C-alpha cells in the first residue's frame, strides 16, 4: 500500500494556507464521491467508482490466482457431465469398450511410475492391452452414432456452450461462472435431467479438481455418531454447533421470561404463542425430566433462531422449477450435560423445529429428533428436511442481510462521506483509508451483476429478487449504529458470556474488538492531545472536518446512518449534530474498522468451508415443507436439493469469495522497511497492535484444540483490513 503524501494533522492546527488547500481538495473530492439510490432504496450507495478506488494490478493478480483453479474445476465438472450424457446415449457394448480403453490407459499410466525392470515388463503387457481395446472402437463407433439420434446435434450444442462460457470468462471475469451455461448445454429433449443429482456423491463430485470443503474433512471424534449411521453434517450436534460457530451466527437469540434487560431476546410466552411446544415434549427431547421450559428460560438455557423476517416472502422460479423459502423457528437448549452424540463439555442441543410462523397440526407441525410429536417420522426423514429448511433460511439471511446488508452496504456510504468531508491528511482519513480499500469497486460489481434480476443471487437463493431486496431494506431500516458494538449486541441478543458460556464466534471476535478499540484509542491520542479527557473532548469538538463528516453520516439525504447515540443535537442550522466525546469517537471509528475487517471476515470466509456442499446447506430448496401426513422415504431429502448447475454456482461463488485475501488486519504496508503512516510516532502504536493480534492468533488456536472442530474465521491472519472481496 502506498504512503500518503502528507503528514497527518487536525484542521484546526494548520496554517490558513493549508486550510485553503484542504478546502480545495475536498471540493474536488465532492465531484468524485457522490450518493445515489438503486432498487435497494432507501439504502444509499456510491454514484460511481472514482479512478483512485479501482482495483490495482496486484489485487487483480491475487484474484486470478483463485480464478484459475475455478476455471479448471468448472471445465472438469462440465466434461464429466458431458461424458455421462454421451455414454448414456451409447449401447452397453460400446460403453464397455470405452471402459476397457480407459482401464488399459490407467494401467499404462501407473506403470510409468514404477521401477525400470518392472516398468519394462508391465509396459509391454499394458501397451498390448491398450492396442487391443482401441482396435474394437472404430468397428462399433459408426453403429453407435447411428443409434444415438441426439448425439451429433448435442455435440455441436455442447461445444458451442463451452466456447461461449470461456469467452465470457475473458470478458466478464468471475461472474461469468454463474451464468446458466451448464443448463443450456445439458438440458435434454427426452425427459432425462443430467443436472439432477442421484445421490449425495454427485455433489461431492462437483469438487473435481478443487480440495473438498472443510465440513467434509471434520475429524471424527469418539463421541460422534458413527459415519455409517450419519455423516457429520447430518448429526444434530453439528446443526446446533452451526448456530454458534457456523457461517452465520447472527440469528441466535436468548429465550427469556422478559426482555426488560435485553431488547432483542425472545420472550418465552410470545414464542409459545407461535410454537406451542409443551414441557412434556421439551423433556422427552432434552432427556431431563426435571427441567421445564420456564426454568430453562429463567436459567438462560433456551435459545432460538426465529426467521420471522422471511414470513410471506415469495419463492423464485428458475428453469421452470419452483423454489420454496420458509420462515422456520428452531429451538435449542444449551445442555450442560448433553446426551450421547454430543461433546461432553456442553452443547447447543436442537429441541424442535416448526417450518412456519404459525403452528398447524397438519400443515406446519412441530418436528423433533425423536418424533415425540407423532408426525409419522419414525426414520427421521422429516427431521432432516426440517433442519435443511432452517439451514436454507440461515443461508438466505446470510447472503442478503448479514453479509451484503450489514457489511458491504453499511460501509459504502461511510466511505463516500469520509472522502467528501475528511482531507487526505486528516488523521482519521489516514487511518481509515486502508479499511476502505477496494470496497467501492467490489460493491459496484455486486450491485450491477450479482444481485440484479437474473444474477447470481437470484440463481442461488430460494427467494425472488424482490423478496431478497425486501429483506435487505427491512434490515437496514431497523439497523442502529450503537447497537452494533459487539459487546453491546451480544447482550441485546441475550447471548453474552453471562448467559451462554460457549460461543466460539463471540469469544474470538470480542478479542479482536478489544484490540481494535485499544489501537484506535492510542492512535487518536496522538492527535487529539491534552492532559485530561476534557481537553481531548474540546479538540474533538473543534475539529470541523470531523464535525462535517459526522453530520453527513447521519444526514438522511447522504449516508443516512441511524442510531449514533453519542452525538449531541445542536441548534445550528448547518450542523444538526456534534460529537464532543473523545471516548465515543474511539468506539465510532473502531466499529467502522471492525465491521470492515472482523465482522465481514466472519460471514465471507466461511462460505467455501461451510456453505459449498449442498446436502449440508443450500441457498435453494426445490420441495415444499413436509406435512404431518406425508409419508417420506430416504429419496425425499435429495429431491429438496438444487440441480447440479445451481450447486456448482453456489460452490464456485463461495470458493472465489473465500479464497481472495488482499491484505491482513493491522498490516498496512507490503514493505516492512517502509511504513504506510508518514508520521513516525504511529509506528510504535501499529507494532503494539500487531503484537496483540499475534497473541490473539495464539489464543484462538489454543481454544480451537478443545472445540468440536476449529473455528478459523476470526484468526487475525485470516482477516483482511477491508471489504475487498
Nearest to 81 by CA among 199, 186, 189: 186
pLDDT of residue 167: 56
Distance of CA 653 to the CA centre of its chain: 10
Asked if 423 and 26 touch (Cβ cutoff 8 Å), the reply is: yes
- The answer to whether the 11-54+400-614+634-718 and 227-389 domains have the same CATH topology is no
- Cβ atoms within 10 A of the Cβ of 153, count? 10
Q: What separation in angstroms does the CA of 249 have from each of 101, 116, 340, 672?
A: 51, 57, 25, 36
- Name the DSSP class of 48: S
User: How far is residue 379's CA from residue 680's CA, in Å, rounded to a whole number?
Assistant: 67
User: What whole-number distance in Å separates Cα of residue 75 and Cα of residue 163?
Assistant: 11
Specify which residues 266 forms β-bridges with: 255
- Cβ-count burial of 156 within 10 angstroms (0-12 exposed, 13-18 middle, 19+ buried)? exposed
Strands (E), 40-147: 44-46
| 36 backbone φψ class: left, alpha, beta (φ>0; ψ -120 to 50) | beta
- Rg of the chain in Å (alpha carbons): 29
- pLDDT value of residue 144: 44
CA distances from 310 to 41, 128, 198, 326, 394 (A): 19, 64, 30, 7, 10
Domain boundaries, the chain: 11-54+400-614+634-718, 60-215, 227-389
- Which of 676, 659, 663 is closest to 717 using CA atoms? 663
**Comparing C-alpha atoms, which of 205, 159, 215, 213 is closest to residue 184?**
159
Q: Which residue has the cell 445515489?
A: 36
Separation of alpha carbons 586 and 527, rounded Å: 12
Q: Which contacts qualify for 601-604: CB closer than 8 Å, 24 or more apart?
A: 601/713, 601/714, 601/718, 601/719, 601/720, 602/249, 602/505, 602/509, 602/713, 602/714, 603/247, 603/248, 603/250, 603/398, 603/402, 603/403, 603/407, 604/403, 604/407, 604/657, 604/658, 604/723, 604/725
CB burial string 558-571: b at 16+ within 10 A, e below: bbbbeebebbeeee
Residue 343, judged by CB atoms within 10 A of its CB (0-12, 13-18, 19+), counts as middle
**Cis-peptide, bond into residue 42, ω within 30° of zero:** yes
Statement: the pTM of the whole predicted model exceeds 0.95:
no
Q: Spell out the residues 6+ positions from residue 8 whose beta carbon is closer than 8 angstroms to its own.
A: 425, 426, 427, 430, 527, 677, 678, 679, 682
| pLDDT computed for residue 103 by the predictor | 65
**pLDDT for residue 70:** 83
Place of cell 453530520: 551
Looking at the DSSP assignment, which residues form a beta bridge with residue 315? Answer: 463
**CATH of region 227-389:** 3.10.450.60
Which stretches of the chain drop beneath a pLDDT of 50? 1-5, 94, 116-121, 123, 134, 137-156, 158-159, 173-180, 191
Q: Other C-beta atoms within 10 Å of 311: how many?
A: 12
Q: What pLDDT does residue 88 have?
A: 63
Closest residue by Cα to residue 484 from 391, 398, 596: 596
User: CATH fold of 11-54+400-614+634-718, please?
Assistant: Lipoxygenase-1; domain 5 (1.20.245)
In the prediction, which pLDDT does 104 show?
Answer: 61
How many other C-beta atoms can be found within 10 angstroms of the C-beta atom of residue 301?
Answer: 22
Residue-wise pLDDT for 459-488, tens only, equals 899 999 999 999 999 999 999 999 999 999
Amino acid at each position: 500500500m502506498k504512503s500518503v503524501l502528507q503528514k497527518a494533522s487536525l484542521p484546526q492546527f494548520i496554517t490558513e494556507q493549508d486550510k485553503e488547500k484542504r478546502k480545495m481538495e475536498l471540493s474536488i473530492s465532492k465531484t468524485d464521491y457522490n450518493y445515489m439510490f438503486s432498487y435497494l432504496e432507501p439504502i444509499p450507495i456510491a454514484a460511481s467508482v472514482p479512478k483512485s478506488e479501482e482495483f490495482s494490478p496486484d489485487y487483480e493478480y491475487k484474484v486470478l490466482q483463485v480464478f484459475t483453479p475455478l476455471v479448471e474445476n468448472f471445465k472438469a465438472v462440465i466434461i464429466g457431465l458431458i461424458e455421462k450424457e454421451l455414454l448414456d446415449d451409447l449401447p452397453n457394448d460400446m460403453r464397455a469398450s470405452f471402459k476397457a480403453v480407459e482401464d488399459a490407459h490407467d494401467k499404462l499410466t501407473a506403470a510409468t511410475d514404477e521401477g525400470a525392470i518392472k516398468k519394462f515388463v508391465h509396459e509391454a503387457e499394458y501397451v498390448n492391452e491398450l492396442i487391443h481395446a482401441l482396435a474394437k472402437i472404430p468397428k462399433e463407433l459408426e453403429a453407435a452414432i447411428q443409434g444415438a439420434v441426439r448425439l451429433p446435434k448435442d455435440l455441436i450444442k455442447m461445444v458451442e456452450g463451452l466456447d461461449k462460457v470461456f469467452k465470457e470468462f475473458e470478458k466478464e471475469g468471475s461472474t461469468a461462472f454463474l451464468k446458466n451455461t451448464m443448463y443450456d448445454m445439458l438440458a435434454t429433449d427426452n425427459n432425462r435431467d443430467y443436472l439432477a443429482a442421484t445421490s449425495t456423491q454427485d455433489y461431492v463430485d462437483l469438487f473435481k479438481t478443487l480440495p473438498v470443503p472443510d465440513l467434509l474433512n471434520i475429524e471424527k471424534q469418539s463421541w460422534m455418531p458413527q459415519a455409517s449411521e450419519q455423516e457429520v453434517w447430518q448429526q444434530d450436534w453439528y446443526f446446533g454447533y452451526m448456530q454458534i460457530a457456523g457461517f452465520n451466527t447472527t440469528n441466535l437469540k436468548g429465550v427469556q421470561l422478559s426482555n426488560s434487560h435485553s431488547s432483542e431476546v425472545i420472550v418465552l410466552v410470545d414464542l409459545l404463542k407461535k410454537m406451542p411446544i409443551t414441557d412434556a415434549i421439551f423433556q422427552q427431547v432434552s432427556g431431563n425430566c426435571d427441567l421445564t421450559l420456564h426454568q430453562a428460560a429463567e436459567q438462560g438455557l433456551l435459545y432460538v433462531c426465529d426467521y420471522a423476517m422471511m414470513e410471506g416472502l415469495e419463492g423464485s422460479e428458475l428453469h421452470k422449477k419452483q423454489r420454496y423459502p420458509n420462515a422456520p423457528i428452531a429451538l435449542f437448549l444449551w445442555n450442560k450435560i448433553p446426551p450421547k452424540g454430543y461433546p461432553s463439555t456442553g452443547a447447543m442441543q436442537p429441541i424442535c423445529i416448526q417450518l412456519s410462523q404459525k403452528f398447524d397440526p397438519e400443515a406446519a407441525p412441530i418436528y423433533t429428533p425423536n418424533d415425540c410429536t407423532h408426525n409419522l417420522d419414525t426414520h427421521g426423514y422429516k427431521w432432516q428436511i426440517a433442519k435443511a429448511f432452517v439451514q436454507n433460511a440461515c443461508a438466505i439471511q446470510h447472503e442478503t442481510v448479514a453479509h451484503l446488508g450489514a457489511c458491504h452496504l453499511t460501509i459504502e456510504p461511510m466511505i463516500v462521506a469520509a472522502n467528501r468531508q475528511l482531507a487526505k491528511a486528516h488523521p482519521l482519513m489516514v487511518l481509515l483509508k486502508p479499511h476502505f480499500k477496494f470496497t467501492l469497486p467490489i460493491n459496484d460489481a455486486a450491485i450491477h451483476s450479482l444481485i440484479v434480476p437474473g444474477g447470481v443471487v437470484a440463481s442461488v437463493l430460494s427467494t425472488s429478487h424482490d423478496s431478497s431486496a425486501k429483506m435487505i431494506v427491512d434490515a437496514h431500516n431497523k439497523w442502529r449504529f450503537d447497537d452494533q458494538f459487539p459487546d453491546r449486541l451480544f447482550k441485546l441478543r441475550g447471548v453474552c458470556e453471562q448467559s451462554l458460556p460457549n460461543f466460539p464466534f463471540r469469544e474470538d471476535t470480542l478479542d479482536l474488538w478489544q484490540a481494535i478499540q485499544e489501537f484506535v484509542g492510542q492512535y487518536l491520542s496522538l492527535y487529539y492531545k491534552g492532559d485530561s479527557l476534557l481537553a481531548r473532548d474540546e479538540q474533538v469538538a473543534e475539529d470541523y472536518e470531523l464535525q462535517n463528516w459526522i453530520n453527513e453520516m447521519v444526514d438522511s439525504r447522504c449516508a443516512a446512518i441511524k442510531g449514533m447515540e453519542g452525538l449531541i443535537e445542536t441548534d445550528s442550522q448547518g450542523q444538526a449534530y456534534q460529537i464532543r466525546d473523545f471516548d465515543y469517537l474511539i468506539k465510532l471509528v473502531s466499529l467502522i474498522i471492525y465491521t470492515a475487517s472482523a465482522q465481514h471476515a466472519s460471514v465471507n470466509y466461511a462460505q467455501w468451508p461451510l456453505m459449498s456442499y449442498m446436502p449440508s446447506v443450500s441457498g435453494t430448496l426445490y420441495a415444499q415443507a413436509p406435512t404431518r401426513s406425508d409419508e417420506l422415504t430416504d429419496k425425499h431429502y435429495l429431491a429438496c436439493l438444487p440441480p447440479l448447475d445451481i450447486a456448482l454456482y453456489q460452490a464456485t461463488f463461495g470458493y472465489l469469495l473465500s479464497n481472495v485475501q488482499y491484505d491482513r488486519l493491522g498490516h498496512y504496508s507490503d514493505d516492512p522497511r517502509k511504513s504506510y503512516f508518514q508520521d513516525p510516532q504511529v509506528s510504535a502504536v501499529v507494532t503494539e497492535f500487531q503484537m496483540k493480534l499475534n497473541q490473539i492468533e495464539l489464543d484462538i488456536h489454543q481454544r480451537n484444540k478443545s472445540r468440536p472442530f476449529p473455528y478459523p474465521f476470526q484468526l487475525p491472519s485470516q482477516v483482511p483490513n477491508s471489504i475487498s472481496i
